[in-house]
């Protein structure tokens, strides 16, 4: 594979989608072939699974929730991400396996070793080359998300849950400092965009 795989992670309301779109605009302006996708979703099957897992009427166990995400991820990797990387494109994904570790592992309390084993099987071991973690306190992030629309099933989880996943994201980043770039999501969006582009440009020059 000659492409570059980048993921964006963070708690609710961190501004991932905004920065992902800004990065895409920079890539397009620079003539870099790229593909944007998201989790859960990114495929016909993934979008159906996304509707199920975020539906406030769905009553899912923590493991069922994780397996739905993993099924969507398996389809996305096979159908979208690996082919794009094989073509030498830069793939930018809104969430990936780290979200499962943070949300279902640290947040829901599932065994991380088990989650990693299932995720490795679902993805064939494919991991991002670079991950941006947009860090924000749950109160601020959830308030931001509430301004966008009605809270989904995940956003309606208790505040303690959201604090656990925030701490989980930071612990994951500490375990892999070469892959993660941790950014304060409360900073000016233009400053965040500049930092993200600087990190991506460095990786592009190495690739």
170-193, pLDDT tens digit by residue?
Answer: 999 999 999 999 999 999 999 999
Q: Which residues contact 171 (CB under 8 A, 6 or more apart)?
A: 106
Q: For 52-102, what is each residue's pLDDT tens digit?
A: 887 778 788 999 989 999 999 999 999 999 999 999 999 999 999 999 999
**Domains present along the chain, CATH in parentheses:** 4-206 (3.40.50.300)
Average pLDDT of the chain, as a whole number: 93
15 in a known ligand binding site:
yes
Task: Report which of 134, 103, 120, 124 is spatially closest to residue 10, judged by C-alpha positions.
Answer: 134
Q: Which residues contact 124 (CB under 8 A, 6 or more apart)?
A: 77, 82
12 in a known ligand binding site:
yes
Q: What are the distances in angstroms from CA 181 to CA 55, 175, 199?
A: 31, 12, 8
Q: For 94-141, what is each residue's pLDDT tens digit?
A: 999 999 999 999 999 999 999 999 999 999 999 999 999 999 999 999
Q: In terms of DSSP H, where are the helices of the chain?
A: 16-29, 44-54, 62-76, 82-86, 97-100, 112-123, 138-148, 159-175, 189-206
pLDDT at residue 149 greater than cutoff 80: no
The mean pLDDT value for 1-12 works out to 88
1 confidence band (pLDDT: 50, 70, 90): very low
How much is the pTM? 0.92
Contact 197, 23 (CB under 8 A): yes
* pLDDT value of residue 155: 83
């Amino acid at each position: 594979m000659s492409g570059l795989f980048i993921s964006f992670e963070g708690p609710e309301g961190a501004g991932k989608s905004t920065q992902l779109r800004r990065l895409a605009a920079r890539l397009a302006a620079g003539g870099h072939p790229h593909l944007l996708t998201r989790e859960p979703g990114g495929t016909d099957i993934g979008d159906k699974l996304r509707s199920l897992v975020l539906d406030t009427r769905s009553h899912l166990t923590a493991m069922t929730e994780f397996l739905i995400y993993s099924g969507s991820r398996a389809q996305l990797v096979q159908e979208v991400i690996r082919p794009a990387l094989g073509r030498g494109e830069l793939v930018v994904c809104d969430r990936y396996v780290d979200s499962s570790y943070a949300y279902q592992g640290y947040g829901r309390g599932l065994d991380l070793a088990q989650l990693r084993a299932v995720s490795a099987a679902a993805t064939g071991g494919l991991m991002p080359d670079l991950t941006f973690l947009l860090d924000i306190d749950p109160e601020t992030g959830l308030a931001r998300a509430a301004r966008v629309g009605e809270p989904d099933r995940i956003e309606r989880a208790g505040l303690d849950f959201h604090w656990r996943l925030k701490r989980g994201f930071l612990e994951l980043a500490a375990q892999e400092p070469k892959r993660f770039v941790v950014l304060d999501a409360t900073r000016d969006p233009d400053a965040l965009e500049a930092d993200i582009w600087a990190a991506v440009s460095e990786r592009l020059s190495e690739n």
